[in-house]
Chains A and B, each alone.
Chain A
């Protein structure tokens, strides 16, 4: 990074965090610290919800996904608007009326303390594992850019996030997220425009789309059905809807965002904004990845984008032959792409060269044992964007990372305090005590995130790793909330056993490989509902 990039990055991040802390001044009660005193307007919550989902992973990994696999990943979000409608109809009014701090408090009101505690612990395990992944992604950025060791990068990121999260609580997080989301949109838009502008003369967006289309990258809707195919319209609509329902209806990191709303209307509007904006945003991120693919059709990329893996490959005896094969395939692809853009029938030659390139990259990855999907966009940004813009894009990536980590740390602390500490360990105390404990738990989970981030590297595409991890637990949690809201005859024991059965079913599906992870939520939720109803019937007392 050049001095101008450093200046842009540091100024942007300092301004965002200062603004968030300024807006959060005077958070002197547990209610204002954990729920912002229920005063937040819809637009702040809407962008905060988007920012909490749009992590550094979204920038780094989704663009890489667009480059490698094309645009079909966007289908993963097709179920989200439907889920938002269901959440607006059910969870939002129920949680507002129950006047809860966490979604799991409602489970005790509906069932009993053991169901609330079980689901709270499942949340703490699942979200606790994910928070390390969220911190590992920006560590990749800083490691590539600065050459710092991973331990230092995660520590620096962690300390910044812990500072403003501990000091300002959910209000600081929401207003910081608001600013971060605006910077993310600016960074994303700039990266896409720059990628188009950097294409060779005479290519333009139309030429880029012609090239990406010929390579099979422009596939935002695929209708073929397979239980094991991760991304098609059916898994997106149904599996994606269940995942989004679990995420927005039952995951405290999201529920806490809209529980800060001043009314049901404000909370609903914030969710519906996401229903409308999320899919186009993902489409643009993936499109950026495919334009970067077109860019590297005309400008030769490295054989592998991960600098460490590339160094490892160069030390292997097979390297010269692989590089030669890659160079030849690149030349053939370049020539056929240039002719194709100008209307010549060279599509088959282009496809053949693309296959050779893919094969060579696969062979190289086999030797290094790594996956360079997360490094593609970073390589493009740091090597081809002009000074200042690099700083803005990196600030957007870091801002995205911080918004996710702060939201997750805050929700983990809230569940730890409200559902575990206050409920089980110390039910009666001064409000000031709970405020102090909330800050202490926030600091604890921040430190925990830094430590677990060390183990979250080299997991392939990080965005898939996060979604896969969520799918292990979301189905069970969604099922118990569905029982609570839609099955009034189901009692506490039915719900408790139902959750355990649902989780068992999900793990059985995973270890037998019977279905793609997007179906875990559907299966887990159905098993919880069926088991809950069955157990309640069997254990119902006759009058």
Chain B
């Protein structure tokens, strides 16, 4: 395996692993905001008139 091969592998595997771990950490440590769950609120006025 050449040094550029190692570089390609390390950057590819490392970047997707770091991204996945960071995303999981953000999801698991994210704010718990149960009051908005089940609370249906129109995002914009136009949507309100359509419903």
User: Do these two chains really belong together in a complex?
Assistant: no
> Which residues of A does B touch, CB under 8 Å?
none
> Which residues of B does A touch, CB under 8 Å?
none
